[in-house]
Amino acid sequence: MPEESVLLDVEALPRLVGELRERGYTVIGPTVRDGAIMLAELESAADLPYGWGVETEAGRYRLRRRADNAAFAHSAGPQSVKDILHPPRARLWSADRATGSVTAGPDEPPRYAILGARPCDLAALGVLDRVFTGGAHTEPIYTARRDGAFIVAVECTEPGATCFCTSMGGGPDARDGYDLAMTELAGEHDDRFLIRAGSPAGAEVLAALPTRPAGTEVIGEARAAVARAAGAMTRSMPDEPLPDLLAAARESPHWTDVAARCLTCGNCTMVCPTCFCTTTEDVTDLTGEHAERWRRWDSCFDLDFSYLHGGSVRTSGESRYRQWISHKLGTWHDQFGSSGCVGCGRCIAWCPAGIDITAEAAALSAWRASEEEPC
Amino acid sequence: MTSAMPTLAVWKFASCDGCQLSLLDCEDELLAVAGRVRVAHFLEASRAVLPGPYDVSLVEGSITTPDDAERIRRVREVSRTLVTIGACATAGGIQALRDNADVAEFASVVYAHPEYIATLATSTPIAAHVDVDYELHGCPVDRRQLLEVLGALLIGRKPNIPAHSVCFECKQRHNVCVVVAHGTPCLGPVTRAGCGALCPAVSRGCYGCFGPAETPNYAALESVPGSVFLEVTRRKEQS
């Protein structure tokens, strides 16, 4: 671990939220709303989902009461850090006829502190950083939000049934990309956090909190809990180079099988913490005096997404699912130098039809193996 | 000045008047609309009728009588841009239930003197009779979409009328999915967006009033937990 870990009692969580708010951050964290863990601004630590757990399966997500009062022992909801830093809608510019003025960009974003980001969220942030800031032209809306952001990661001690981060090269432990990282040690009678800083900004906040030294025993306990989480994951991707698999599977009959189940509703792309595609819309008022151009999330499952002059290129469900998974697991490597998948499992849980990206990849792998068998 | 304003006409066919009412419901924007178009024919709003041709015609309702089948042709002839509004005008509406039934039998039950009733055997959308420039779906249409189309036509740009699923709107307004998180049957994944995901926003399943999305996969809905389609299939198998 890069910095020394210290102990923070659950009673001190309000201090953490308070310190961040005092520093001018808009603190975003998990809350319970409408039967799911949803991200919202935290007025105080009292808004956190104490005592709530989550059961996930393909196409299913249910909150459940826990025996303990843990604040972060739940699987992520449909949202991710993407929802905050790459918002669903953003104004690109506005123009007024009367003054002839054009104003570029959205309003100045608040400085966000994101409390409770998971290690898979950190991995997703790394992916989005490469997408939006890695090339010759940085994307201004993401960059403006990202540059000022403060990330408090919480390591996972209980993976959801749909998680598979370890097989995507990640893990339930926070490795880098955070300002503060915490491991929650929730017992029936007490709730404590092992906390460490990962940046100078994090160290400064940590110094303002009422922490006490952690013994080697507690640190060992926390490490063991995170290690157990890594071992508890039941889903995984095929153990082979996925770009090769997807390239070899272009003509697989399995696409027809997926398409029979796929609703092409676009949910998987919108809950994916790395799917970043957008489109633009022009908006005018009735007087014609004021015009705005807005950017909104788009999806490769939308027919219009591949619309070129004369029509859409990917009209079938087969071609759209193949595009999504081939980019995510395959050509993303060529484009951005890593996989687009971090193994968070959101696309599995939040697909209304319960389509499982790990099962589809496994089916493609089995098909490929059967094709390569000597006759 | 006033004479240069584009003219707007609103026409009613077989319908409940709810979609025309959506225009009058644009309370905050109504004066802005009235300031930009001359309302030339809108019987629900005014008895004053100006002669055509009209720049924009909004057409509500489906075609259910021989007279209406003729009247829609005349409306088309006097309309530069024709926009159909609502489920009746775009899909035939609830009255299209007659399409697979015996209309004469219905008439005999409903009317004291069915011999006075001149009606067609079917209820068909406007596009089945004349060319339609834009279609606005929904029962009723969405006020925001109606203003979007009017605003776009006034300024001469393409209106934003997406044909993808309601799920797009649900996720973008951060609704919790009622299928996945509650097990509530919901037609959102196969239904056209445009309402702003109204029903799921109050934790109710979409009942599909905007009609099918661009490429609906109804069969796949059977694999959705709590699917109404699954229930329909089960009942069919039982009976």
Q: State residue A331's pLDDT score.
A: 97
Among the residue ranges A8-17, A74-83, A288-297, B30-39, the one predicted with the least confidence is B30-39
* Res. B232 pLDDT band, cuts 50 70 90: low
Cα-based angle A327, A330, A332 (whole degrees, multiple of 5) = 60
How many other CB atoms are there within 10 angstroms of residue A245's CB atom? 20
For residue range A335-358, list pLDDT tens digits in order.
999 999 999 999 999 999 999 999
Please give the structure tokens belonging to residue B194: 């445009």
What number of CA atoms fall less than 13 Å from residue B15's CA on the CB side? Answer: 31
Q: Taking CB atoms and an 8 Å limit, are A287 and B36 in contact across chains?
A: yes
Q: State residue B1's pLDDT score.
A: 41
- As a whole number of angstroms, the distance between CA B59 and CA B52 comes to 15
Distance of CA A312 to the CA centre of its chain: 29
- Which residues does A39 contact at the CB level (< 8 Å), separation at least 6? A28, A29, A30, A31, A77, A79, A83, A84
Average pLDDT over residues B196-219: 94
- Does residue A122 carry a pLDDT above 80? yes
| CB contacts, 8 Å: A270 with chain B | 167-168, 171-172
Q: Locate the chain A residue with the closest alpha carbon to B5.
A: A287
Size of interface A-B (CB pairs under 8 A): 149
Nearest CB to A260; choose among B214, B216, B219: B219
Please give the structure tokens belonging to residue A362: 């496994």
- Does residue A188 carry a pLDDT above 90? no
For residue range A249-272, list pLDDT tens digits in order.
999 999 999 999 999 999 999 999
Strands A290-297 and A212-213: unpaired
For residue range B145-187, list pLDDT tens digits in order.
999 999 999 999 999 999 999 999 999 999 999 999 999 989 9
Terminal CA-CA length for chain A: 52
Sequence-ordered alpha helix ranges (H) in A251-301: 254-261, 267-271
Nearest CB to A299; choose among B168, B203, B215: B168
Q: In chain B, what's the furthest Cα-to-Cα distance?
A: 68
CA torsion through residues A18, A19, A23, A26, sign: negative
Q: State residue B224's pLDDT score.
A: 73
| CB contacts, 8 Å: A264 with chain B | 165, 215, 217
Q: State residue A203's pLDDT score.
A: 97
Q: Taking CB atoms and an 8 Å limit, are B189 and A353 in contact across chains?
A: yes
Q: What is the mean pLDDT of chain A?
A: 94
- Does residue A125 carry a pLDDT above 60? yes
Tell the CATH superfamily of the B2-155 domain. NADH:ubiquinone oxidoreductase-like, 20kDa subunit (3.40.50.700)
Nearest CB to B182; choose among A35, A270, A286: A35
Residue B153 phi, psi dihedral angles, 5° rounding? -65, -40
Task: Kindly state the percentage of chain A with pLDDT values over 90.
Answer: 89
- What amino acid occupies position A334? D
Please give the structure tokens belonging to residue B196: 């702003």
**Structural domain boundaries of chain B?**
2-155, 166-238
Answer yes or no: are the C-beta atoms of B123 and B15 closer than 8 Å. Answer: no
Average pLDDT over residues A136-152: 94
- What amino acid occupies position A149? A
- Does residue A2 carry a pLDDT above 60? no
